[in-house]
Amino acid sequence: MTTTLHTELITVRDCLRYAVSRFNAAELFFGHGSDNAWDEAVYLTLHALHLPLDRLEPFLDARLLAHEREALVKLYHRRCDERLPAAYLTHEAWLGDYRFYVDERVIVPRSFIAELLEEQLSPWIEDPWAVESALDLCTGSGCLAILTALTFPNAQVNAVDLSEDALAVAAKNIADYGLEDRVERVHSDAFSQLAGRRYDLIISNPPYVNAESVAALPPEYLHEPEMALGSGEDGLDFTRIILANAKRHLNPGGIVVVEIGHNRDELEAAYPQLPFTWLDTRAGDQYVFMLRYEELPD
């Protein structure tokens, strides 16, 4: 097979066609940075060849060296045979223009909150410079804690996770962005180690997959830490912990912003008394809610 590939896969275009065919034949699932075989093939190919991720066209008909073809084919085969998300193959994930190191100790970063931080949570936060303390609960790779620190330049940020493995990955990303003096990692089961700490802003992208959906997850998701995905029968177990504890950790006038996936109907049915504000994202207004300090249960 290697000899055949060396003689027939000549250009980047050839390798991309081969990758797309392999990915489709393997019936891969896409949801960790791309949503189709072509985009995934382009990303993996450009990354492996150390080419700009936003500049495919000039390189399509470039001829490949033998070791480059071998590396690409090996990468494509691992994606198909092991069903590893692309981020675990390249050890990187992107939220907008920001790159983060990832491996199988953390969930692959993907969050609508990152999109909302691009707008500094406007209009819900009027003055970004007035945010002096923030909490990222279930920080994982630390990506949202880092984006929060970059978004609110006066804020000291606590990046909290129960997983010490995740906090080790977060440490690398925090160091990569030079934010060791502003982002503090805290090993804690939810709020358990945060007694006495209060914040102007709490954000969380917690586990929120319900039991039925966990049982039906594609193989790609099974490589991610189980504790970062499932959250009880209805997917709301961790969200309940947030709602029960957030007020005692918020400063008056502060807000809490939480991502809950497809659980809006279940959440509103469980808490009919809470005036959830659903924040607009490019995918719709049903994935992230916001509550003010005054609106939270005591």
Assess whether pLDDT exceeds 70 at residue 5: no
Stretch 51-64: mean pLDDT: 95
Same domain, 284 and 153: yes
Same domain, 124 and 265: yes
Single out the residue in 90, 109, 142 at which a domain terminates.
90
Same domain, 106 and 69: no
Assess whether pLDDT exceeds 90 at residue 118: yes
Q: Of all residues in the chain, what percent carry a pLDDT higher than 70?
A: 98
Single out the residue in 40, 75, 90 at which a domain terminates.
90
Same domain, 84 and 100: no
Give the integer Cα–Cα distance in Å for 191 and 157: 14
The single residue listed with the structure tokens 């907008």 is: 96
Assess whether pLDDT exceeds 80 at residue 3: no
Same domain, 70 and 103: no
Same domain, 160 and 41: no
pTM: 0.93
**Predicted local confidence at residue 1, as pLDDT:** 41
Residue 73's domain is classified under what CATH number? 1.10.8
What is the tally of structural domains in the chain?
Answer: 2
Give the integer Cα–Cα distance in Å for 124 and 280: 12
Residue 174's domain is classified under what CATH number? 3.40.50.150
Same domain, 76 and 109: no
Same domain, 112 and 256: yes
When mean pLDDT is compared across 68-72, 83-87, 92-96, 230-234, the lowest value belongs to: 230-234
Same domain, 86 and 137: no
Same domain, 76 and 100: no
When mean pLDDT is compared across 103-107, 129-133, 224-228, 277-281, the lowest value belongs to: 224-228
Same domain, 161 and 31: no
Q: What is the mean pLDDT of the chain?
A: 94
**Predicted local confidence at residue 7, as pLDDT:** 66
Task: Tell me the residue range of the domain where 289 lies.
Answer: 96-295
Stretch 142-159: mean pLDDT: 98
Give the integer Cα–Cα distance in Å for 146 and 168: 14
Single out the residue in 72, 90, 108 at which a domain terminates.
90
**Predicted local confidence at residue 257, as pLDDT:** 98
Same domain, 122 and 86: no
Instruction: Mention every residue, 6+ apart, whose C-beta is less than 8 A from residue 58.
Output: none
Q: Per residue, what are the HEC states of the chain?
A: CHHHHHHHCCEHHHHHHHHHHHHHHCCCCCCCCCCCHHHHHHHHHHHHCCCCCCCCHHHCCCECCHHHHHHHHHHHHHHHHCCCCHHHHHCCEEECCEEECCCCCCCCCCCHHHHHHCCCCCCCCCCHHHCCEEEEECCCCCHHHHHHHHHCCCCEEEEEECCHHHHHHHHHHHHHCCCCCCEEEEECCCCCCCCCCCEEEEEECCCCECHHHHHCCCHHHHHCCHHHCECCCCCCHHHHHHHHHCHHHEEEEEEEEEECCCCHHHHHHHCCCCCCEECCECCECCCEEEEEHHHCCC
Stretch 172-177: mean pLDDT: 98
